[in-house]
Structure 1
Amino acid sequence: MHATGEKALSVGVPGLNEERSATARLVLLHDRAGKVLALLPAAALLDLNRLCQLAGRELQPVKAEDTRRFFEQPALATAAGREQLFTLPLLLDEALPASALSCQEPYSGWQCLLSALPAHERVLKGRFGSTPQVPAQVSAGLADETVINRAVERFTSVRVRQRLQDLLGLPGLSESMRTIVQLRSNPDAGVDDLVPVVKRDPSLSAQVMGWASSPYYAAPGKVRSIEDAVIRVLGFDLVINLAVGVAMGKVLSLPEDTPRGSVYYWDQAISTATLCELLARKSSLDERPRPGLAYLAGLLHNFGYLVLGHLFPPHFSRLSRYIEANPHLEQQQVEQEILHVTREQIGGWVLDNWKLPDEVCAAVRFQQVPEQAGEHDTYAQILYLASRLLRVEGLSDGPRVAVPAVLPAQLGLTAEQVEAAVATVKAQAEELAQLSRLFDQAS
């Protein structure tokens, strides 16, 4: 369950792989024996396995909020405090230059200038930083199914001899949910097709009544029936999309050991879906994206994360620690390093096999590289834009990087429209959180 009434911290910092003043990154780690500092090139991926081997200790990154608190101590603003800091056990990456360098702790933004690398009896030198790989380049020319197969074979004892759908061991959708997915893909389906399906599923009926009665939709008068909820309050598109989201949530449980400080899964999904829909509605493109499909893409954008937790439970905790230690990197880069497959690859593949609309599958699969989405690139661009805008607000996880200046115009949006859409999501944060809790109850 997610905490309520607390501001999300989110896992992500301003991207250090852009041209920045810092040439080195400082990471605070700990174990039962105490705190340790690691210093490595700013944009490098910190390899926790190598670092622990070098130190001879089972180190893990200090939680983001504790790291902020540590580096915001007034003493560290003084020369004496900075000097005292570097008397801690220190791991130095061999790739660092021996000359003066500017170092930064990304979670707190704390910076200092070192005239020379520290040298004392508790300094260890080794190689624990590496150049992060770009998944699109690593798997170039390979079908996603091939990449997933290789990852499964590498990290489990199972060899892929049967259909990958069977191997993944994903629970099937209920009959009503399969019908819902089919209706979502049928452009001729309408309310008359949907209401009987909802009525036949007691759980779904309760969910629809709960959504329609929630403060977020602020329906005038009491919602008295399923027909009333669907026709007067929610509408066909919204019920379909929310029902598909519930179906996905029931198929897989949320991973337990997620990156500490990360935005709760359903909070992030609802915020992203809402912003995607707002952006789609404001678009002035001749072929304007369908708001309902944009909403669904946002709602399911992180579904592959649940699949990773289901497929690789022994490795998922390690993945979470790597994400915490490398908040300046796209999470797909860390997943590529640890699991050799990304949430986008596996999420897009599963949704495609479950016959969700092509626009949604393409948006989820290519949300990091929308230029590769082909004819459905508009939906991938909306998702790319929405997720990065929400990162800045602490409502989505991932590095806070600049959005390409031309992207809003490519989507038929003005800067003012984009700012207004983000402001709307922020203003509705509490109501959206209440909607998110309804997904908790359904899962």
Structure 2
Amino acid sequence: MNAGVKQTIELQIGSLKNLPVLPEASLRILDVINTPDIPIEKLADALSLSPGLVARLLGLANSAYFARGRNVSDIRTAIFQVLGLDLVKALAQAIIFNVQFDTRKCQGFDAEYFWIRSLTTAVSAQKLAIEIPQLRVFTPSTIYSGGLLLNIGILVLGYLQPEELHEVFVECKKTGLPVRQGISRHMGQSHYQIGHFLLRKWHLPVLYQVLLDNYENKDFEGIELPLLILLRVCERLSVTVISGESINLQEFESECRQIKCPLSNIQELAEQLAENQPAMQKLAAIMGN
């Protein structure tokens, strides 16, 4: 490792130690979100602590993806009639992170692409999990949140080290190297590890910490393994669908066999996702603002 790369890694690790503290309102909201079987009324009351969060959730509830012609004007209606408890909990968590990390100083950071990829991964995982017995131990909102939080480390880098992340984007565009590999090479650790650092500091549920900490660990054998495999499949699937490329089912065969997910389900889901891309883009635009 040369001196320049070593210094960059040391600076990057040092900056992580300076991650902002969450506002009190956000801490209270996250605590409620991650409380099992929370009554909808208590969730609505907690969300109301953040007018900005409520406005964003109402924007989502009135988007083309969800509203279907209805006009939703209050958070309780959004939860009861449009989004549902599980989805509100997952989206609220993601919005809190997005608001906390302003990435506008990072040239080349495409917030809309970031969120359409995260949302597509989350939706894919939740839909595929329905017919996979191994994943029934996880709630739908847990699976959805796992997809949304998967790339949270990129948001952290865009906020803390915008110039360094921009350099990674430029290099990857020139060389065709995947961004995740560019980050690992440039920063000395993956964005999944950086995301894990954030979740641990903010005391988010251990499950999400485990998912990020072991996302690239091929020797992991914990009870979370089926969910890890599903998220790996769905992240690659989302990239392919968003790019408009054709699905090569053979690329998913080994992992799908491990979790007993029929390849026909992957093909069917890919077609559904492609049809829903315009609505998902509008949804991602709201998330990224």
Alignment TM-score, normalising by the size of structure 2: 0.84
Correspondent of 2:272 among 404, 409, 424: 424
Cα 1:176–1:263 change in 2 (3 A) is closer
Higher relative contact order (CA 8 A, sep 6+): 2
Distance 2:184 2:9 in 1: 16
- The offset of 1:194, in angstroms, is 0.2
Cα 1:292–1:395 change in 2 (3 A) is farther
> Structure 1, residues 348-379: CA drift from partner, whole Å, max 9, x if none?
12112212222222223333345426221222
Show structure 2 runs of 5+ residues with no match.
none
Distance 1:169 1:286 in 2: 36
Distance 1:185 1:405 in 2: 34
| 1:256 and 2:106 correspond | yes
Cα 1:402–1:177 change in 2 (3 A) is farther
Larger Rg: 1
Q: 1:177 touches 1:244 (CA, 8 Å); kept in 2?
A: no
Which residue number corresponds to residue 207 of structure 1?
A: 56
Which residue number corresponds to residue 274 of structure 1?
A: 123
Cα 1:159–1:350 change in 2 (3 A) is closer
Which residue number corresponds to residue 203 of structure 2?
A: 355
Cα 1:371–1:401 change in 2 (3 A) is farther
Which residue number corresponds to residue 409 of structure 1?
A: 257
Which residue number corresponds to residue 326 of structure 1?
A: 175
Distance 1:303 1:296 in 2: 11
**Equivalent residue runs for 1:55-94 within 5 Å:** none
Which residue number corresponds to residue 184 of structure 2?
A: 336
- The offset of 1:318, in angstroms, is 2.4
**Equivalent residue runs for 1:41-440 within 5 Å:** 154-155=7-8, 168-218=17-67, 221-254=70-103, 256-258=106-108, 264-285=113-134, 287-327=136-176, 329-369=177-217, 371-372=219-220, 374-395=222-243, 403-440=251-288
| Residue correspondences, number | 285
Distance 2:149 2:5 in 1: 22
Cα 1:356–1:423 change in 2 (3 A) is farther
Q: Relative to total residues, which structure has the larger strand share, 1 or 2? A: 1
Alignment TM-score, normalising by the size of structure 1: 0.57
Q: CA RMSD, aligned part only?
A: 3.3
